[in-house]
Amino acid sequence: MRNHLFLFLPFLYCLSLGQAAVDYQLSRVYEKIDAPKPISIVVMPDGSGKELLVLQGGKILTLPKDRSSSESEIFLDLSGMNMIEKAFEEGLLGLVFHPNFKKNKKFYLYYTLQNPKRSRLVERRMSKKDPTKPDGKYERLLLELPQPFWNHNSGNPVFGPDNFLYLSTGDGGKANDPLDHSQNTFALYGKILRIDVDSRTGDLPYGIPKDNPFVGEPGCRAEIWALGLRNPWGIHWDHASNTLFCADVGQNQREEINIIQKGGNYGWSFREGTVKFALKHREPPADLIFVDPVFEYDRTLGLSVSGGIVYRGKNLPTLRDHYLFGDWGTGNFWALKYSKEKVVDVKKLNWSHAGDPVGETKEPGIPAKITKGSFKPVNFCYEATGELLVLDWNGAIYEVTEKR
C-alpha cells in the first residue's frame, strides 16, 4: 500500500496567504424548528427536493420549504426505540437512500440499541400504499454489532459510485482500543465495511462484492474494505472525484482526514495520525504499512474532527471543490482540496456569527473551552440546491455566505 505524502504542516495554511482574507458568515436558518443534536441533512433523491433532518434522538423531520416556518413534518420517529443510554455518541447515527431509490423506495439507517448495547444497519422502505411516507413496520436487519462500550459506534452509511454500501464502524469504545479491534481482521470494528445490499452471499443478508480486498483470505472478514480506524463517524463518498473521505477522531494526539483506499490500514491503535500511540507499549510488525492521513491537526487546534462534504455549489466560490470539515470541540473549520492523489490546498477558515469569530482557540496548546453557546460543528451538508448547511450539535442549522 503506497503511503500518501505526509502533509502535516500546521502552517500549510500559508498556502492561502496570498489571497485576500475571506470571512465566512454563518446565519441561522430554520430557527423555529426544534433540532436537538442534529446529525445530518439528507435530500430525498426523488426529485421532490425534500430535505430531511436526522436527529440523534431518533426522529427524522422533513424541513419546511419556508425556512422561517415553525412547521416541520415528522418523516420517521424512532425515538421510542431505546437507542440511547448516553446521548453523546449513541442514537440514530446515519441515513442514506438507495442509489436506485426512485424505483425501489429503499433507504438505510444506522443506529444503536440498548440492553444489550449494539449497533444496527437496517434496510427500510417507503409505504406501498403511500410512497411519500415510510413504511413504519418494515425493517430488514443487515448487520448487528454488539457494542462493548457506549462510545465509538461510528456512523453514517454511504453509497459509492459502485452502488455498494460503505459503513464506518468504530473500535467499540472506551479508550486505548482495549479489545484490539481495529487491527483485527476477524472483527468488524474499527473498519470501513463494503457490502452489496442488493444481493446475498451464503446465509448473509447482503452480498460480499467479489473484489473486496480480504475475500478468500483466511482469518479475515470479507466485508472489510479498510482497517485501522478508531472512530470514523464522518465518511463521505465524493462521486465526482471518485474519492472516499474519512475523518477519524483521535484519542489524545491527532485528528485525521484520510482518503480511503482498498485494503488500506490507517494505523490505529499502533498510531494516531502519523505519531506513535505509545499507551499500547507495542511495536507494529515490521511488514505492516500504514496509510498516512492526508491532513492531521493536533490538540492546539481541536479534539474531535467532524467530517463533511466536498462543496460543489455556487454561492461560495472560494470553497468550491474543497472538502469541508471542522472540529467538534473547538469550532475550528477547514477546507481542503484533494486532486490527482494529493492535497493541493488547505485553508483554515475564518467563520463568524453575528459579528463574532467562531472557533477561536484562546491559548496555544490548550483547546478552547467548550462554553455554552460555542459551536459544535457536527456535520456539513448539502441542501437541495447543492449549497452548504452547517449543523451545530447544540441544535442549530446555519447557512453560509462569504465576504471578501
Q: Which residues bind Ca ion (CB under 5 A)?
A: 147, 149, 152-153, 173, 266-267
Sign of the four-CA dihedral 355, 358, 364, 366: positive
Cα 242–152–181 angle (5° rounding)?
Answer: 85
The minimum distance between CB 119 and Ca ion, in angstroms, equals 7
Selection from 137, 67, 81, 131 nearest residue 111 by Cα: 81
The minimum distance between CB 300 and Ca ion, in angstroms, equals 19
Q: Which is nearer to Ca ion, 105 or 221 (CB)?
A: 221
Q: Which is nearer to Ca ion, 8 or 149 (CB)?
A: 149
Is the CB of residue 134 less than 8 Å from the CB of residue 76? yes
Is the CB of residue 308 less than 8 Å from the CB of residue 380? yes
Q: Which residues contact 380 (CB under 8 A, 6 or more apart)?
A: 306, 308, 309, 311, 324, 325, 326, 388, 389, 390, 391
What is the distance between the alpha carbons of residues 338 and 259, in angstroms, rounded to a whole number? 9
Selection from 108, 47, 386 nearest residue 238 by Cα: 386
How far from chain centre, in Å, is Cα 160? 14
Q: Which is nearer to Ca ion, 147 or 261 (CB)?
A: 147
Report which residue's Cβ sits closest to Ca ion.
173
The minimum distance between CB 189 and Ca ion, in angstroms, equals 8
DSSP element (H, E) containing 62: strand 59-62
The minimum distance between CB 252 and Ca ion, in angstroms, equals 14
Q: Bridge partners of 390?
A: 380, 398
Q: Which is nearer to Ca ion, 171 or 223 (CB)?
A: 171
Selection from 90, 125, 127 nearest residue 107 by Cα: 125
Q: Which is nearer to Ca ion, 30 or 268 (CB)?
A: 268
Selection from 239, 244, 243 nearest residue 193 by Cα: 244
How far from chain centre, in Å, is Cα 294? 16
Taking every pair of Cα atoms in the chain, the longest distance, rounded to a whole number of angstroms, is 60
Q: Which is nearer to Ca ion, 253 or 350 (CB)?
A: 253
The minimum distance between CB 191 and Ca ion, in angstroms, equals 12
Q: Which is nearer to Ca ion, 277 or 393 (CB)?
A: 277
Q: Which is nearer to Ca ion, 13 or 149 (CB)?
A: 149
The minimum distance between CB 172 and Ca ion, in angstroms, equals 5
The minimum distance between CB 257 and Ca ion, in angstroms, equals 10
The minimum distance between CB 268 and Ca ion, in angstroms, equals 5
How far from chain centre, in Å, is Cα 191? 13
What is the distance between the alpha carbons of residues 307 and 248, in angstroms, rounded to a whole number? 8
The minimum distance between CB 262 and Ca ion, in angstroms, equals 16
Q: Which is nearer to Ca ion, 106 or 230 (CB)?
A: 230
Selection from 262, 270, 265, 233 nearest residue 248 by Cα: 233
Q: Which is nearer to Ca ion, 75 or 328 (CB)?
A: 328
Selection from 238, 251, 88, 63 nearest residue 155 by Cα: 88
Q: Which is nearer to Ca ion, 6 or 186 (CB)?
A: 6
The dihedral formed by the CA atoms of 127, 133, 136 and 141, expressed in degrees to the nearest 10: 70
The minimum distance between CB 120 and Ca ion, in angstroms, equals 13
